[in-house]
Chains A and B, each alone.
Chain A
Amino acid sequence: MNAFAAGFEAAHERLRGRWAAGIVAVSTILVVVSAAILHRDSPADAADLVLSGVVFGLTVPIVAYAAVARACRYGRLDDGVAALTRYGADRRLAVAGLVAGTGVRVAIVAAGLGAIAAVVAHGGLARDSASDALVTGWVGALGGASYSGLLSLASLFGRRGGGRGLALLADAIFGMAASAVALPWPRAHLRSLLGGGLVEGLAERQSAALLAGLCVAWVAVCLIRVPR
């Protein structure tokens, strides 16, 4: 087993069991109930409202924050792999594995939440809702992965990784804008991908590409900052 695999396995160990089940259950209930209420009150724009508000505006960022914090053992990202590096694991590879393992899990949960919200908000599984669920699932996976990348990088700041809290706050504030200040934040691009306001005039495809690029860049900076 190399350090990357050990880091990936550590993410799996930390993000499973009752804790993970509880997070998934609470977020799913929140999304389903919100989607059902919105569908009852205004069926025409229920999907847009629940996806841009409850799912990608609230639940996905919080789930990503909780997952990254737990994967880091509620401390700094580099301290989160101390259990591996003490035995000689390459810190950089172990962090890469931990970030990848966390990102994959958050992406899967976010994709699932997006798809479920789309189906419920459309009032059931029809042809329209199925294609919408596919699209929102894909957007959710991208959003979950990008939030994981951003929060993992932010976990390298602060004595106990307090940077991730600030990053979440900054995303909530600056990601609401449509100007250039919104460019580095996932919230702005996710809103654009869901048919909301464009970010600095970027088309949806450009927003998706930029968000994927940012995700890769955040992880790359993470690995550069962590010594072996």
Chain B
Amino acid sequence: MTALELRRVAGQKLGALDLVLSPGVTTVVAGSDEGGGELVAIAAGLSRPRKGWVRLAGGDPFRHPEQRRRSALLLDPEIPLEGRTLEQSISQALVLRGSRESAREVLASAGIGAWAERQPGSLSPTETRSVALALALSSDGPVLAALAEPFSAGLDRATIVSKLAGWSRAGTIVLCVTASRRDAADLGGRVLELARVRKRSTITEVTGDYREGPLELVVRASPAQALAAALTPEDAVFTVVYDETRAPEEIIVRGPDVERSSLAVLRAARESGARIERLESRPVGSAAPRPAGPPGGATP
């Protein structure tokens, strides 16, 4: 059976990581500090681990061009494209991959067909990721799809999810890496969490529903930054939004349900010494908060 095996893999940020993946979608929740991007590059054979080894279907992808040819890859950060036009650049990639598709078809399938004549150097980092993801998604039955933050590449989420599900059914090992638990839940499949404890990277299986609930909490606190930092490790909080310039005393907290998130906020406030001035719930994404509660009190 085809498998991706990483044994005691160490890199710049990864340390002694053990991970075995079989066909299907697996999402690893990890930020760049934990080595999420590095994991994708090493798994796909683009970077050599400092220690340990990688096997993809029995071979080392770093030493076997054939295995890299059969991998779909989205890196974080992406490698800037070269060539005089995007069409030329993508054509070269397709030829190297042995694909018969045309560059224009690849771009059109991702809804970015109008970019064909653009100069690769004129693309923003997000646009570069869009093109790389379009190329990755155009792969025909890859052995491995290793994608870092696939939803941040500016392409349609539903298209990405359905493509990955199709590959998964066809026996592809799909490895996605994202820092967002919500994205991990949307990508489906197995969810693992990558953490770094001392010099070792550890993987733990995440169970339970990591979808955010319909309500979010708006918290006015002082100092809000300390509260936001204290909330980050809370399991009942999936997303913490803190914008220092626009709302320096406000944070937005999203989680599976407001009750659990509220308790997490109170716990974090106690730990960080932050004073909560207002805490209220509102539908996710609604800009206008409900009237303020009593100052100094918490109304979960």
> Which residues of A come within 8 Å of B, CB atoms?
1, 3, 6, 9-10, 13-14, 82-91, 227-228
In the complex, chain A residues whose CB is within 8 Å of the CB of B98: 88
Are B64 and A228 in contact, with the CB atoms below 8 A?
yes
Instruction: Give the contacting residue for A82; candidates B71, B79, B95, B97; CB below 8 A.
Output: B79
* Bound Cα distance A83, B89 (Å): 10
Given contacts A6-B96, A82-B46, is CB(A13)–CB(B65) below 8 Å? no
Are B46 and A87 in contact, with the CB atoms below 8 A?
no
Instruction: Give the contacting residue for B81; candidates A6, A9, A82, A83; CB below 8 A.
Output: A83
- Is B279 in the interface zone, CB < 8 Å from A? no
Are B96 and A89 in contact, with the CB atoms below 8 A?
yes
In the complex, chain B residues whose CB is within 8 Å of the CB of A86: 44, 46, 68, 71, 73, 75, 79
* Bound Cα distance A112, B66 (Å): 41
Are B63 and A228 in contact, with the CB atoms below 8 A?
yes
Whole-angstrom distance from the CB of A18 to the nearest CB of chain B? 11
Are A3 and B82 in contact, with the CB atoms below 8 A?
no
A-B contact sample (16 more), CB < 8 A, given A13-B83, A84-B96, A85-B46? A3-B96, A6-B96, A14-B82, A82-B79, A86-B79, A87-B68, A87-B93, A87-B94, A88-B65, A88-B66, A88-B69, A88-B70, A88-B97, A89-B96, A227-B62, A228-B63
Whole-angstrom distance from the CB of B75 to the nearest CB of chain A? 8
A-B pairs with beta carbons under 8 Å apart, 8 shown = A1-B95, A6-B96, A83-B82, A85-B46, A85-B65, A87-B68, A88-B98, A227-B62
Are B96 and A87 in contact, with the CB atoms below 8 A?
yes
Chain B, range 72-108, C-beta contacts under 8 Å to A? 73, 75, 79-83, 92-98
Are A88 and B68 in contact, with the CB atoms below 8 A?
yes
In the complex, chain B residues whose CB is within 8 Å of the CB of A90: 65
Q: Which residue of B lies closest to A93 (CB)?
A: B65
> Which residues of B come within 8 Å of A, CB atoms?
44, 46, 48, 62-66, 68-71, 73, 75, 79-83, 92-98
In the complex, chain B residues whose CB is within 8 Å of the CB of A3: 65, 96
* Bound Cα distance A9, B71 (Å): 23
Given contacts A1-B92, A89-B96, A227-B63, is CB(A83)–CB(B79) below 8 Å? yes
* Bound Cα distance A6, B83 (Å): 11
Are B62 and A87 in contact, with the CB atoms below 8 A?
no
In the complex, chain A residues whose CB is within 8 Å of the CB of B94: 87
* Bound Cα distance A9, B96 (Å): 13
In the complex, chain B residues whose CB is within 8 Å of the CB of A83: 79-82
* Bound Cα distance A211, B81 (Å): 36
* Bound Cα distance A82, B75 (Å): 11
Are B82 and A13 in contact, with the CB atoms below 8 A?
yes
* Bound Cα distance A82, B93 (Å): 12
Whole-angstrom distance from the CB of B141 to the nearest CB of chain A? 14
* Bound Cα distance A146, B82 (Å): 27
In the complex, chain B residues whose CB is within 8 Å of the CB of A85: 46, 65, 68
* Bound Cα distance A84, B82 (Å): 10
Whole-angstrom distance from the CB of B284 to the nearest CB of chain A? 37
In the complex, chain B residues whose CB is within 8 Å of the CB of A228: 63-65
Whole-angstrom distance from the CB of A94 to the nearest CB of chain B? 9
**Chain B CB within 10 A, most for which of A82, A83, A85, A86:** A86
* Bound Cα distance A86, B80 (Å): 13
Whole-angstrom distance from the CB of B186 to the nearest CB of chain A? 26
Are B63 and A1 in contact, with the CB atoms below 8 A?
no
Q: Which residue of A lies closest to B97 (CB)?
A: A87
In the complex, chain A residues whose CB is within 8 Å of the CB of B66: 88
**Chain A CB within 10 A, most for which of B48, B80, B82, B97:** B82
In the complex, chain B residues whose CB is within 8 Å of the CB of A6: 92, 96
